[in-house]
Structure 1
Amino acid sequence: MIEAIRTDTGDTTDETGGASIHTADEVLRALDAAAVEDAVRKAAAAEIMPRFRQLAAHEVVEKNGPHDLVTVADRLAEEQLTAALTSLLPGSLVVGEEAVHADPAVLGALRGDAPVWIVDPVDGTRQFVHGDPGFATLVTLALRGELLASWTYAPALDLMAVARRGAGAELNGQPLRPGSPAPGAVLEVAISHYDFTDDEQKRVLALLETDGVAPRPCGSAGLEYLHIARGELDAVAFSWENAWDHAAGLLLVHETGGASGTVAGEPFRIAGGNALPFTAARDAATARRILGLLAAAD
């Protein structure tokens, strides 16, 4: 069964049985979305764009292999965003890609009761390092696994997409309404890049190489979700579940009428533990088709 993106909401009461300090509606009412957007733009302007096509060799480091890179821009932008976002919403926490790399225990905040900012300072670091403008800064606000608001900013392309739970999504201030793929059209699908997949993942994703589907390796995950929200791509099929790569885009796709699910037919859980691969698509029918093909691997 495929359904519109939803995630575990978790317990909404404290240990004494009373009302939780935070509810999703309370957090959204306290949210100054314009201030968040300003913080994202300022971090990119201060720490990312001055280094675009200007990186020195010592400012680029491998994390887990030659294709998994981190730059000084990633680290400094995440530090600036962490300070800015937590000041905008007192009591909130940050789960950032670089913070988790330094201390995996940081991920535990996704299962806690405090509002959490999920941050990928430079999504598409490889593109950034090679001077390709296809990278983005991703910020999502979540509470007990529920995605509340997201910002997808591609500074080199001057694109800012904002989504808010139940209120739709906009790109540069204009509503996003991608609609469904045309009947009978070949589905354009971005899949996990071959450089980041093992043999078994490649075998499963190869099931999309069939009539009526045109898979291609993905670039920045955040921008692939934006392509769906703009109607430029029909679906993604990904074999990894890092929250910072997917949270912003999943809310963006949902708020433009899309759907998602895992190969087990379950909603994607932002805190992890998902059956993989999973998909997000322009509509539920497309999501069902993609997952049906992938499920044939079993």
Structure 2
Amino acid sequence: MLPDLQTLTQKIRDIAREEILPRFEHVGFALKQDGSLLTEADLATNRRIAEFLGEQWADIAFLSEEMESAEQERLLREADALWCLDPLDGTSNFAAGIPLFAVSLALFQHGEVVLALTYDPVRDEMFTAQRGQGAWLNGQPLRCQPSAFKLRNAVAIVDFKRLSLPLKNALLHNPPYGSQRNLGSCVLEWAWMAANRGNVYLHGGMKLWDLAAGTLILAEAGGYACTLAGEPVFVPALAPRSVVISPDAVLFAAWLQYLRENQ
């Protein structure tokens, strides 16, 4: 039996509002070894959620972005049931005073995502999904919808920094879409695409905790995703994965064709 989603979402909402929002625009940061930012909000949220999950579901192992990679690898090898947490995705936004960041949590069972949530505390938006049961935004059904746009009119969300140089050049000099955005929070970008906020999406390399919850939320909402190689995005491993998304089947096919022709 899966953990109760209502109990889970209420506690994650409470923790995020207690640990993240009061520190927004009032906290310093440090650099991790990979150059990414770390704030007090990351650490406090990570600690509170880990404690809550351990108390409620002691039989489920816990993996977080904030752990050492050797421990993450061990958990992925050995645990049949495993939480995967990003306590604050969009830390650079958070530290810069940009209100685009979120908490994201997924539950793996036997190597697949079965439960997922992404919570945006600024907008009080809770995106959730359960395998085979659907996706929701604040308890209301979430469904991807076809767009009236052609690819040339589409709003694209694109993260350029991990793309190949040929693809970057193609997108800069011959973009197939109408306009381009980048939120700076992978987990919000998954959730927003599931909510039809944007037409096509591209990221050159996400970490496991960036994509785990989003893959289930988007899939249960009826959206489309794969890697640049055409493979499923989610695998229970630490190596970064490229991501191509659209909530619209026609746009997804056109977008993927353009990307394959310009890699």
Shorter-chain TM-score above 0.5: yes
**Equivalent residue number for residue 35 of structure 1:** 7
Aligned residues: 260
Match of 2:176 in 1: 211
TM-score (norm 1): 0.79
**Structure 2, gaps ≥5 residues long:** none
The 5 A counterparts of 1:1-298 are 29-55=1-27, 57=28, 60-64=29-33, 68-99=36-67, 102-184=68-150, 186-194=153-161, 197=162, 201-208=164-171, 209-212=174-177, 214-272=179-237, 277-297=242-262
Q: Percent identity?
A: 29
Higher relative contact order (CA 8 A, sep 6+): 1
Structure 1: state its 5+ residue gaps. 1-28
One-letter amino acid of the structure 2 residue matched with residue 230 of structure 1: A
8 Å contact kept, 2:99–2:122? yes
Aligned residue for 1:287, secondary structure, equals helix
Cα distance in 1, alignment partners of residues 155 and 145 from structure 2: 14
RMSD: 2.3
Moved more, 75-84 or 105-114: 105-114
Deviation at 1:273, TM superposition (A): 7.3
Partner of 2:206, secondary structure, is: coil
Going from structure 1 to structure 2, the CA distance change for 1:94 and 1:285 (only over 3 Å counts) comes to: farther
TM-score, normalised to structure 2's length? 0.89
Note the alpha carbon deviations across 1:182-231, whole angstroms, 9 max, x for none: 1525222212243xx3xx62432443443345333342111111221111
Matched position secondary structure for 2:166: helix
* Deviation of the 1:127 alpha carbon: 1.0
Deviation digits for residues 37-66 of structure 1 (CA, Å, limit 9, x no counterpart) = 1221122123212211111x3xx1011466
Q: Is the contact made by 1:260 and 1:284 (CA closer than 8 Å) also made in structure 2?
A: no
Alpha-carbon distance in structure 1 between the residues aligned to 2:134 and 2:251? 20
CA contact (8 A) 2:208 2:240 kept: no
Deviation at 1:131, TM superposition (A): 1.7
Post-superposition CA distance 1:70-128 (Å, at most 9, x none): 101101111111121233223211221111xx343313323444211111111100111
